[in-house]
Amino acid sequence: SKVFPKEEVYKVFHEDSPQSDVLVVLKNESFLHSFVPDQEMISSFPGRGVIITAKTQAEKTFHSRFFCPHLGIPEDPVTGSAHCMIAPFWAKEWNAESSEWLNAVQGSKRIGHL
């Protein structure tokens, strides 16, 4: 993709629905932090918005960012609905028990914790 270099992407998920998001799992957190979105390119993705996520160095902690130019939101600082897709992915990836806590950090300039 012109938006995300292949060497930076671990996995991509998308359901065929206009209300769903595209989930792009990145190989490293540093790319997530340095990523400067091209809103026009992000708008070309199907669905509601684009979520990028990467694990952090802290145990069972992941970072994410959410872009939704279709709805006039270049980058949302905290998106609870996006975590309905992100948290199950990381729980499965880490073989987390249902009673275990996962730590979520979202945003670039303004950070939110879930």
Integer Cα distance of 56 and 63 in angstroms: 7
pLDDT tens for residues 16-26? 877 889 999 99
- From the centroid of its chain, how far is CA 69? 15
pLDDT of residue 12: 94
Residue 64's CB is within 10 A of a number of other CB atoms, namely 27
pLDDT of residue 89: 94
Cα 113–Cα 91–Cα 9 angle in degrees, nearest 5 = 85
pLDDT, average across residues 5-11:
94
Provide the residue ranges of all domains of the chain, joining segments of one domain with +.
6-113
- Please tell me the CATH code under which domain 6-113 is placed: 3.10.310.10
